Amino acid sequence: MKTFKIGGVHPQDNKSFSAHQPIQECPLPKQAIIPLVQHIGAPTQAVVEVGAKVKVGELLAKAGGFVSANICSPVSGTVTKIGDWKDAWGAPGQAIFIDVEGDDWLPEIDRTPDLKQQCTLEPKAIIDKIAAAGIVGLGGACFPTHVKLLPPPGKKADVLIVNGVECEPYLTCDHQLMLEHGEEIIIGIGILKKALGVERAIIGIENNKKDAIEHMSKLAQSQLGIEVLPLKLKYPQGGEKQLIDACIGRQVPSGALPIEVGAVVDNVATIFAVYEAVQKNKPLISRVITVTGKNVAKPGNYLVRFGTPIEEVIALAGGVPADTGKIIGGGPMMGRAMDHIEEMPANKRLSGLLFLPQAESIRPEEDNCIRCGKCVQACPMGLEPYLLQRLSELEMWEECEKHDIMDCIDCGCCVYTCPAHRRLLDGIRPGKAKVGGILRERAAAKAAEKK
């Protein structure tokens, strides 16, 4: 069975808590909070004013540049405030606050559950619809999807890789989506193939989801050019570089994007959103999130409209468990621990809520590096984490750059493996930020010189 070649670790998948829980719809909130940044790229600009009455699907904020994404209203009601807001990690930003009234949708949105198979639009029209719907990558990175579909001149894709891997432990939303909405995903794949002009699509699914592999294989049989590839379980197989290596054996070079090797990668939830946008005129206004943890009363997969305070979703799952130490937005390997849950809405970036008991939330004490080299063996990018951490600590930025610190994908394999519990990423992340800044300054200086 195929998998990526370099590094990787095998955390316990802990998916049994929420696996196979049917997707449950969360009721509408009384107030919706919609942050103006829910993606990688330039912040959006609000196009509504305080006091405006909006319908579900209406444009609230438009993309602030090429690499940006629209935000459409997930609720209907009155805009009460557009202003300062802090997320669950204390980061400041802007958000639109809406008092929810009823559930009025824009008339052009098709709310029927019938499957629409045919798509007669031209590629450009498809991409425009995806952009208008504000679709971003729902695997966690939230990169604007329409940008991925517009390769720079000279670069062409020859394969679409569909990410059904969901390598983060605990999370099961993608798995459940494949089981319940596999047909829509297959149609969405066909639409994306058309938009990209590729003949071949590969759906990568890890072999801890055998029923999803079987289900999607059956559905893909009727389609030409879509194959399902079962993959050997290994983290971080869902990382796009690792997934491309696993599926087609091509490794994206350092500093380049997947299009460099002719591949475009999209998550299954993103593709489901593409189906809804292109076939049903429904913009991206909701997503499935997994609420899970050992002590959660009703762990499961919940369909949530953006803007819904996560307190309400957590209440559906039985409330915050008594012994909770950490609440993580996302999965345990790359998710971020939240300081508080008040005034925090579900949004495009939130794929899961994980509640870790107190005992599992304290990091063991750090020892001296014992030079075992396990971090080097674990790193999927072939880096030397022990060295990068030390160089960052010593602020030796040139050396950091020479040792390819910019290739680090933040997956956490090194920290996961380290027997001495060294805070490897605590050192590498600021190093990456600093070296990234130096590289940008260098590029800007070069560009200025050319003028």
Partner 1 sequence: MKNFIVAPAPHAHSGDSVRKNMLWVILALLPAYVVSVIEFGWGALITAAISVCACVLTEWCISRFLLKEQKQTIGDLSAVLTGLLLAFNLPSSLDWWIVLIGAIVAIGVGKMSFGGLGQNPFNPALVGRVFLLISFPAQMTTWPLAKGFETSYLDAETGATPLYFLKHIVKSGDSSVIDQLPALRDAFLGVMGGSLGEICALALIAGGLLLICLRVITWHIPVSIIATVALFAAVTGWVGALPEGMETGQYVAYELLSGGLMLGAFFMATDYVTSPMTAWGKIIFGIGIGFIMMVIRTWGAYPEGMSFAILIMNACVPLLNKFRPQRFGEKKK
* Residues 387-446 contacting partner 1, CB under 8 A: 387, 403-404, 407, 410, 412, 415-421, 423, 425-426, 429
Asked if residues 65 and 34 have their Cβ atoms less than 8 Å apart, the reply is: no
Q: In terms of CB distance, is 82 or 424 closer to partner 1? A: 424
Q: In terms of CB distance, is 5 or 116 closer to partner 1? A: 5
Q: Which residue has the tokens 């930003």?
A: 93
Q: Please give the torsion angle defined by the CA atoms of residues 235, 351, 335 and 230, in that order, rounded to the nearest 10 degrees.
A: 0
Q: In terms of CB distance, is 102 or 325 closer to partner 1? A: 325
Q: Which residue has the tokens 């600021």?
A: 430
How far apart CA 273 and CA 279 sit, in angstroms, is 10
Under the criterion CB under 8 A, does residue 258 sit at the interface with partner 1? Answer: no
How far apart CA 415 and CA 428 sit, in angstroms, is 11
Q: In terms of CB distance, is 221 or 254 closer to partner 1? A: 254
Annotate each residue in 326-345 with x if it binds partner 1 (CB under 8 A) or - if it does not, as one string. xxx---xxxxxxxxxxx---
Query: Which residues ranging from 157 to 176 are in contact with partner 1 (CB under 8 A)?
Result: 169
Could you say which of 153, 154, 322, 371 contacts partner 1 (CB under 8 A)?
Answer: 371
CA-wise closest residue to 94 among 45, 130, 55: 45
Query: Which residues ranging from 48 to 107 are in contact with partner 1 (CB under 8 A)?
Result: 89
Under the criterion CB under 8 A, does residue 266 sit at the interface with partner 1? Answer: no
Task: Note the Cα 395 to chain centre separation in Å.
Answer: 31
Could you say which of 27, 382, 436, 437 contacts partner 1 (CB under 8 A)?
Answer: 382
Asked if residues 336 and 327 have their Cβ atoms less than 8 Å apart, the reply is: no
Under the criterion CB under 8 A, does residue 257 sit at the interface with partner 1? Answer: no
Beta bridge partners of 56: 105
Q: In terms of CB distance, is 103 or 339 closer to partner 1? A: 339
Backbone angles phi and psi of 185, in degrees to 5: -65, -40
Binding part of the chain for partner 1, among 6-14, 49-57, 158-166, 195-203 by CB under 8 A, reads: 6-14
Could you say which of 1, 47, 115, 256 contacts partner 1 (CB under 8 A)?
Answer: 256
Asked if residues 324 and 314 have their Cβ atoms less than 8 Å apart, the reply is: no
Asked if residues 133 and 70 have their Cβ atoms less than 8 Å apart, the reply is: yes
Residues touching partner 1: how many (CB under 8 A)? 72
Q: In terms of CB distance, is 103 or 410 closer to partner 1? A: 410
Asked if residues 47 and 62 have their Cβ atoms less than 8 Å apart, the reply is: yes
Under the criterion CB under 8 A, does residue 132 sit at the interface with partner 1? Answer: no
User: Cβ 269 to partner 1, closest distance in Å?
Assistant: 21
Q: In terms of CB distance, is 50 or 256 closer to partner 1? A: 256
Helices (H), 281-419: 310-316, 374-378, 385-393, 397-402, 413-417
3-state secondary structure 65-129: CCCCCCEECCCCEEEEEEEEEECCCCCEEEEEEEEECCCCECCCCCCCCCCCCCCCCCHHHHHHH
Query: Which residues ranging from 301 to 330 are in contact with partner 1 (CB under 8 A)?
Result: 320, 324-328
Under the criterion CB under 8 A, does residue 374 sit at the interface with partner 1? Answer: yes
Asked if residues 282 and 109 have their Cβ atoms less than 8 Å apart, the reply is: yes
User: Cβ 253 to partner 1, closest distance in Å?
Assistant: 4
User: Cβ 405 to partner 1, closest distance in Å?
Assistant: 11
User: Cβ 214 to partner 1, closest distance in Å?
Assistant: 29
Could you say which of 97, 143, 272, 386 contacts partner 1 (CB under 8 A)?
Answer: 386
Residue 362: C-alpha distances to residues 134, 324, 410 (Å): 38, 11, 20
Query: Which residues ranging from 226 to 255 are in contact with partner 1 (CB under 8 A)?
Result: 241, 245, 251-254
| Residue 436: CB atoms within 10 Å | 13
Q: In terms of CB distance, is 166 or 276 closer to partner 1? A: 166
